[in-house]
Amino acid sequence: MLVAATLIWGSTFVLVKDVTAAVPPSWLVGIRFTCATAVLAVCFLKRRALYLDRGTVRAGLACGLALFCAYYLQTWGITDTTPGKNAFLTATYCVIVPFLAWATLRRRPTRYSLMGAACALAGVGLIGLGGGVGISTGDALTLAGALFFALHIVLVARFTRACDPYVLTMWQFAGVGVCGLTVALISEPMPTWSVLEASDLATVAYLTVFATTVALLLQNVAQSRLAPATASLILTFESVFGVVFSVIMGAEQLTGRLLAGFALIFASVLIAEVLPAWLQKRRALQGAGPSEPATAEVLVPKMAGEA
């Protein structure tokens, strides 16, 4: 599920870069998430008895606030940087998440998680930065957005264990939509819809249906079964797919540097997930027990009072 979500998100970097020339960042975020809220509300009418569950509403709005800050900063940042650097700097949340989860969920990351995060960071660095390592205002905004993406991943991991992930996603979208439209009305000019091209409207529709409704729903459902550190590593494939789509669209050329970056990101998942499981199996065959958790894929503890 998470890999499918990253495939969708990876296809959006060039699209967002183009559409923000016509639709300001807050309007783009507000519109796509407000429409996505309506779509989910209709799709999950069978779960409407849970729509007003207080715990789910509070959790969804908290996730929504973090996600709004993340998307707003990322979308604002891409107006002053390249899609490749935007993808790289966004993916730095893979390093932030293990420590943030440790601080907030009291879950110490294993050495395999830390090694995997470092390997993934090196991989997205090869993919996104290349020879240009200067930091622009857009880069700084994107990096700030990565911090909120990390917070969002940790919050989702926390709340999906106690809340219905589908209803949680709906309220999360509602929170992002309200924040986006509020900031847009206060600080940005209204988009001139009459001058938008058909391609701009198609991009907004794609971002709403696939990059928002489908992809984030997949993330929330998948994270109910994964630890934050594991999820953050898998989500770094977003930067890989971002460059792949850039190559397909003619925005970048496939080079040895890109291939090396892909290999490092793939290796990061092997280090964090496959290697510890293999070592545990090997120790078991040798009659020695593992000295630490074999994998980062440990479910988040339930909230106090949860059945």
Each of the 307 residues of the chain gets a pLDDT tens digit; together they read: 889 999 999 899 888 888 988 889 899 999 999 999 999 988 888 887 778 888 999 999 999 999 999 999 998 998 888 777 788 778 888 878 888 888 887 778 788 888 888 888 888 777 666 555 556 788 889 889 999 999 999 999 889 888 888 889 999 999 999 999 999 999 988 887 777 888 889 999 999 999 999 999 899 888 888 877 778 878 888 877 887 887 788 766 777 887 888 788 778 878 876 788 788 888 888 875 555 554 444 334 333 344 3
121/137 Cα distance (integer angstroms): 21
147/70 Cα distance (integer angstroms): 7
276, 252 contact by CB (below 8 A): no
| CA contacts within 13 A on the Cβ side of 200 | 15
| CA contacts within 13 A on the Cβ side of 245 | 20
168, 56 contact by CB (below 8 A): yes
**Cβ-Cβ contacts under 8 Å for 304 (sequence gap 6 or more):** none
140/73 Cα distance (integer angstroms): 9
Decide: residue 70, CB within 10 A, 0-12 exposed, 13-18 middle, 19+ buried. Answer: buried
User: SS3 for 51?
Assistant: coil
| CA contacts within 13 A on the Cβ side of 106 | 3
Sign of the CA dihedral with 26 first, then 143, 301, and 9 last: positive
- pTM score, two decimals? 0.76
| Number of other CB atoms surrounding residue 297 within 10 Å | 17
Phi, psi of 229 (to 5 degrees): -65, -40
Phi, psi of 226 (to 5 degrees): -125, 155
Sequence ranges of the domains in the chain:
2-286
User: SS3 for 283?
Assistant: helix
146/96 Cα distance (integer angstroms): 8
